[in-house]
Structure 1
Amino acid sequence: AFTPLSFGIETNEPASCKIDYVKKNSFENMSFYFGGSQLLKQNHTQTISLPGQANLEAENITLENDNEYELSVRCRDANGNSNPANFIFKFCVDKGPDTTPPLIITTDLLNGMPVAYNQTSVELILYVNEPSNCKWDHLDQNYENMETAMTCQDSVIPMNAQMLYECTTTLTGLKDRFENNFYFKCKDKATTPNVNTESYKFTITGTQPLVINSVKPNGTTIRDSTDSVKVTLKAETSAGYNEGEAICYFSETGSENDYNQFFETNSHTHSQDLYLSEGDYEYFIKCVDLGGNSDLEKINFNVESDSEAPIVVRAYHEETYLKIITNEDGECVYGMSTCNYAFEDGIKMTDVDGTKHYTDWDTKTTFYIKCQDDYGNQPLPDECNIIVKGF
């Protein structure tokens, strides 16, 4: 009894399958998904642990059909077509006594999972293959000496979709920045109870606060020559779980239900491209790690759209140089015969601090000057910013 039994089916096309102890007249009315999976696939596997005759008789349950179990299966394809009739599996269970200890199959939490900083307890469900009494302890010791008894199902009937039995408890005494180990053992309800000799070890990782080290842009102006300006939100995280590995979100309002996940995240660095029109912006940046630690920052920035070529605000002769000053950062070039030349074909002037440009003074030369800002704005192909004639 309760020995794990694996069996499966193969369908001729991808399908979702269900299984039930009772014959049902439709796929929708059946209780459990085959193998606990709703995915459309061709190979399906189910593992169950069937109670023996003695276990059922103890609860006044009688098996018909010469003590055989019957399990009904139906499948449905992607178009909603299901089997018109049940496919039946038949099993019998040895009438002998249950001589095997319970199997602890899994838990509802991932083994080794982190928890938030300052969290001292966590709820846990333990799944076993048969009704059992289970205990846990911080020390790996005999079942009888373990301190904390779990709340377990007594009957063979209330199993879950994976046909397993639940035991619930609250794990306490969690420490921050520490691997908290817990040990589980179970004893079944056989006439002569069977007890686990080896413990099921379960670990919960205590963490530290998550920190957002930097967020950008903040307190600055982003400019470009387009109506819709590209702005890249960036964040860096540390500490927390796994040295700051986290998922970051952004919101314009800061409301809990108004956050959107960064496009590039789930790491220590995070980025999100936005395309914004001119204006002042405020964003809330929230990052959360796997343990539930979070940190929040707020940023402000301004977006400007610059589609105009630079303006020459002054041109003069100083010492042996022609100097011009523009109203914004950029670069300037000149031709010596006309304004109708490509910017890249011009003779480059020397730049100082982005807005000051100079070249050698020559009284015999007329300078046809074009200037281009950092966003590529420049005069029309046959126009200049300024024409300067030496004298």
Structure 2
Amino acid sequence: MKLNKTLGLTQILILLIGIFAFSFMIGEIGKSQGIEIARGVGIVSGQNANLSQGEGAYWAEINREEIPPITTQTTPGEDKEEKVTGKVETIDGKKYYVIRDSEGKIINKELLDEDDTKKNETGKDELSDKGKNKVNNWLLTTGGGIVASKVTELINTGEVKLFGKEILKLSGKTTEKVGEEVAKRALSKTFGGQLAISAAGSALGAAINWAIFKWIVGADVRNMRSASTASAIGFAAGTAAGVAVGTSTALGATVATGATIATGGTLLGIGTFGIGLIVALVVALFITLASFENYSKEVFNYLVEAWEPDVGGGDCDLCNELEFGCTEYQCRSFGKGCEIVNPGSVQEVCVWKDPDDIFPPKITALEKVLPSADYEYRPLSGVVTGVKIFYTKDSSSNGCILPYSSVTLGINTTKYADCKIDTERTSSYEEMIASMTSFEGFENEHILKLPHVAAPSVESQTASGIPITQITNGQNQEFFIRCESANGISNVDEYIMEFCVQDGPDAFPPVILGTNLEGKFLQYNQSEANLQIYTNEPAECKWSFEDLNYDAMQFEMNQCSQTEGDYMFPPFSYGCLGKLEGMKDRVENKVYIRCNDKPWWTSTDKGARYANEQSHVLKLQGTEPLVLDEITINGKQSGATIKDSVSTINVKLEAKAKFGADNGKSICQYEFGGNWIDFYNEGSSGFVNVNTQRIPLSEGFYNYSIRCFDAGLNSDEGNIKFTLVTDREAPVVARAYYDVNNLKVITDEPAQCVYTSQTNLGCTYNFADGTAMNEIGESIHYTSWQANKKYFIKCKDEFGNQPLPGQCSIIVRAFESFE
């Protein structure tokens, strides 16, 4: 059940806009506060500045035209000296206390009242006691730009020398502009640090959100995807907010003090980190909760098996009610106990064969599946029913089979039954996991072949890292079996089949089970072929053109499986991949293959490796090009016209090839509607000498493309053109004449002609009752000439077209003329 709908993109966008707006507001407040302070102080001491150390000063050079860039001198240890003067001057008829630098440029000035000045002994204006107090306050608070220790000296002497390892000159129309310029320059030093701090806090907040839902809430994979996305959005939002607030605050402090606050830097960093963390966490939590869904979680296990009808036979009679009768297959589909009785007679019906059967099938071991005379069944001791598959050549007398042997479990039942098998004990037939029935329906024999990987050696398991405590070689492996009758009666007790695998060293070479190229042809001009070798155990394999021992073989397989199924082999199998080279056309290429076991083995391992002493011989036939020799339509060559009397004409398309992989045996296709369709070949499959396909077509012109492939993938193409004509007209007698005591008629198409001379019947006779005329070829027909006799002639073509009832193709009256 869903708790909330997933947060929409619009909501996320609104949330982000709100965060940035809030951050911008705080930044603007910080910036404004810094500028206001700068506007009031103008020039401040460098005691808290990062840009200057020791005694020094910052001052502003007033230039009402422009604000040039900041210039900075930063040579460590090099003392700078600047002479600053201060005196009363008259400018534009008004008196000012003017501060100038060593070049005489005005740094700043303060307007004076009349009583702020007085004349000295030389008649020049100087500061009165009131004026000294005013200038002193001005210099210390609102714009003089002189450090406090130098103010008294400047007022009393009219000049002062300023020293500092770094002197910063600012130009500006007002001190407000100076503050803003400081803010700009400070931004380059402040933004990077605030970004890093804010990103770190945001990352922690995003991680906390993810961890909450992963380990505390225990969200499933779908909700964790939402949490991951929300954490990413939260990280971005938190970083932006932290940078905006932190940078704005730092800039405000920079403008107010002339540089980034050093003593408060740690607190500022903590604040930026915290803002990033909180915003990221809040945003991520909000999005995750908004999109969180409460999924129900259930595990379903699927086992693909053939469909089976219900047990018993209570519905067998329903099959007898089917409209078109009940077949054997249909009868069995109504119940496992249903069966057809009296087949082929009028009393054929579907019945419940044995409704009174209440006994389960009896199970016995199937002797014929034992691999050889070296194996036998031995009854299990005790109260259990079953057998052990015993290998008589086992030297330990335990009867354990060799490692990597294939084991076949086979049982026989006293009645048709369905059987199941499991590796664990269960309480009923229904709880067992796998079926032993090999096809739809019941049978007496039930066989399950276990792959070679079911019997691994101790060495291979140890090499794979399996703890020795988990290796079960030498112990009996048990399989539990129950069977159920057609009436649904199953065994209460399990039938047990068991075997053990030897726990000693594997002292036998690998068994080469086959290759992917067995019995294959090579395509013409194909000198290489990809080879797969299948073995019963992990192995390394080689091949050569001569029958050599393993070490002497020249060509190695480059990919060999250490565990079953490596390199896409069939499931539960081992093998090697490689490439055959040097294959020749038109001859049999013979390849010898041998394999060596324990591919993990080194000289420090115990035991030894065992290679094949006899080669597996692979024969590959080189081929020549396939030639599509003949294509016919109804036995006629391309360009033929085919007639029939029906609107849909059934034609037979035939294609015959020669040479190629197997004397022309091939599979052919014809193109229809842009698709290639295999010839049906009267239902047969595989490669054949003549491919046939029957196609119903309407009259018209046709051009079919044909292509054929042989077992070596050689191919050839061709096409056939033909015209289909629908002929519904009876043959026409084109000519009738006397010829050497014979009456001859010629028809316009191949036909059969009959006649009668009975005038009382005329043209009313049936074609089958007429007297057949002799033929010369297919269109010339004749009979003996009798003067003064009428011949009522009817002709019929190969499609059965003939004159309508009561009509003739021609009526001929024979006579003789004497002159």
What residue in structure 2 maps to residue 8 of structure 1?
A: 409
1:42-68 deviation digits (Å, cap 9, x = unpaired): 431425442233332233214266863
For residue 2 of structure 1, what is the amino acid of its counterpart?
A: P
Task: Give the match's secondary structure for 2:725.
Answer: strand
Cα distance between partner residues in 2 of 1:76 and 1:161: 30
Cα distance between partner residues in 2 of 1:134 and 1:294: 33
Shift of residue 170 of structure 1?
Answer: 1.0
Evaluate the alpha carbon distance shift between residue 276 and residue 236 of structure 1 in structure 2; reply closer, same or farther with a 3 A threshold: same
Evaluate the alpha carbon distance shift between residue 293 and residue 264 of structure 1 in structure 2; reply closer, same or farther with a 3 A threshold: farther
Cα distance between partner residues in 1 of 2:422 and 2:705: 48
Shift of residue 176 of structure 1?
Answer: 0.8
Shift of residue 213 of structure 1?
Answer: 1.4
What residue in structure 1 maps to residue 461 of structure 2?
A: 56
For residue 6 of structure 1, what is the amino acid of its counterpart?
A: V
Cα distance between partner residues in 2 of 1:203 and 1:128: 18
The correspondence of residues 245-324 of structure 1 with structure 2, limited to 5 A, is: 245-253=665-673, 255-256=675-676, 258-263=677-682, 266-317=687-738, 320-324=741-745
Cα distance between partner residues in 2 of 1:75 and 1:261: 44
What residue in structure 1 maps to residue 765 of structure 2?
A: 341
For residue 225 of structure 1, what is the amino acid of its counterpart?
A: S
- Could you say which structure has the higher strand fraction? 1
What residue in structure 1 maps to residue 446 of structure 2?
A: 43
Shift of residue 14 of structure 1?
Answer: 7.1
What residue in structure 2 maps to residue 332 of structure 1?
A: 753
For residue 132 of structure 1, what is the amino acid of its counterpart?
A: A
Shift of residue 126 of structure 1?
Answer: 1.0
CA contact (8 A) 2:564 2:573 kept: no
Evaluate the alpha carbon distance shift between residue 39 and residue 160 of structure 1 in structure 2; reply closer, same or farther with a 3 A threshold: farther
RMSD, aligned CA: 3.7
Q: How many residues align?
A: 380
Pairing partner for 2:611 from 195, 198, 204: 195
Task: Give the match's secondary structure for 2:768.
Answer: helix
Which of 200-209 and 227-236 deviates more? 227-236
Pairing partner for 1:145 from 552, 573, 596: 552
Shift of residue 270 of structure 1?
Answer: 2.7
Cα distance between partner residues in 2 of 1:287 and 1:76: 50
CA contact (8 A) 1:104 1:126 kept: yes
Matched, 1:103 2:511: yes
Evaluate the alpha carbon distance shift between residue 20 and residue 271 of structure 1 in structure 2; reply closer, same or farther with a 3 A threshold: farther
Shift of residue 152 of structure 1?
Answer: 0.9
Matched, 1:211 2:627: yes
Cα distance between partner residues in 2 of 1:275 and 1:284: 17
Cα distance between partner residues in 2 of 1:125 and 1:75: 39
Cα distance between partner residues in 2 of 1:176 and 1:350: 59
Task: Give the match's secondary structure for 2:682.
Answer: coil
1:56-108 deviation digits (Å, cap 9, x = unpaired): 2233214266863747678999x9x9999999765443332221111111223
Evaluate the alpha carbon distance shift between residue 67 and residue 100 of structure 1 in structure 2; reply closer, same or farther with a 3 A threshold: closer
Cα distance between partner residues in 1 of 2:473 and 2:781: 101
Evaluate the alpha carbon distance shift between residue 204 and residue 318 of structure 1 in structure 2; reply closer, same or farther with a 3 A threshold: closer
Task: Give the match's secondary structure for 1:232.
Answer: strand
Shift of residue 295 of structure 1?
Answer: 1.6
Shift of residue 160 of structure 1?
Answer: 6.3
Shift of residue 320 of structure 1?
Answer: 5.0
CA contact (8 A) 2:679 2:693 kept: no
Name stretches of at least 5 consecutive residues in structure 1 with no aligned partner. none
CA contact (8 A) 1:264 1:271 kept: no
1:318-346 deviation digits (Å, cap 9, x = unpaired): 67554433322213222112112222332
Matched, 1:379 2:803: yes
CA contact (8 A) 1:364 1:390 kept: yes
Cα distance between partner residues in 1 of 2:765 and 2:722: 38
The correspondence of residues 213-232 of structure 1 with structure 2, limited to 5 A, is: 213-217=629-633, 218-232=638-652
Cα distance between partner residues in 2 of 1:227 and 1:250: 23
What residue in structure 2 maps to residue 131 of structure 1?
A: 538
Cα distance between partner residues in 2 of 1:367 and 1:327: 19
Task: Give the match's secondary structure for 1:267.
Answer: coil
Shift of residue 198 of structure 1?
Answer: 1.0
Task: Give the match's secondary structure for 1:379.
Answer: coil
Cα distance between partner residues in 2 of 1:339 and 1:248: 52
What residue in structure 2 maps to residue 369 of structure 1?
A: 793
Shift of residue 116 of structure 1?
Answer: 1.4
Task: Give the match's secondary structure for 2:609.
Answer: coil
CA contact (8 A) 1:332 1:369 kept: yes
CA contact (8 A) 1:237 1:246 kept: yes
Looking at CA atoms only, which structure, 1 or 2, has the larger radius of gyration? 2
Cα distance between partner residues in 1 of 2:480 and 2:570: 14
The percent identity for this pair of structures is: 33
Q: TM-score, normalised by structure 2?
A: 0.42
Evaluate the alpha carbon distance shift between residue 369 and residue 38 of structure 1 in structure 2; reply closer, same or farther with a 3 A threshold: same
Cα distance between partner residues in 2 of 1:185 and 1:309: 75
Pairing partner for 2:502 from 74, 89, 94: 94
Evaluate the alpha carbon distance shift between residue 19 and residue 241 of structure 1 in structure 2; reply closer, same or farther with a 3 A threshold: farther
Evaluate the alpha carbon distance shift between residue 142 and residue 321 of structure 1 in structure 2; reply closer, same or farther with a 3 A threshold: closer
Task: Give the match's secondary structure for 1:124.
Answer: strand
- Could you say which structure has the higher helix fraction? 2
Q: Which one has more relative contact order, counting CA pairs under 8 Å at least 6 apart?
A: 1
CA contact (8 A) 2:540 2:597 kept: yes
Cα distance between partner residues in 2 of 1:100 and 1:317: 97
Cα distance between partner residues in 2 of 1:18 and 1:295: 51
Matched, 1:354 2:762: no
Cα distance between partner residues in 2 of 1:66 and 1:277: 72
Which of 337-346 and 149-158 deviates more? 149-158
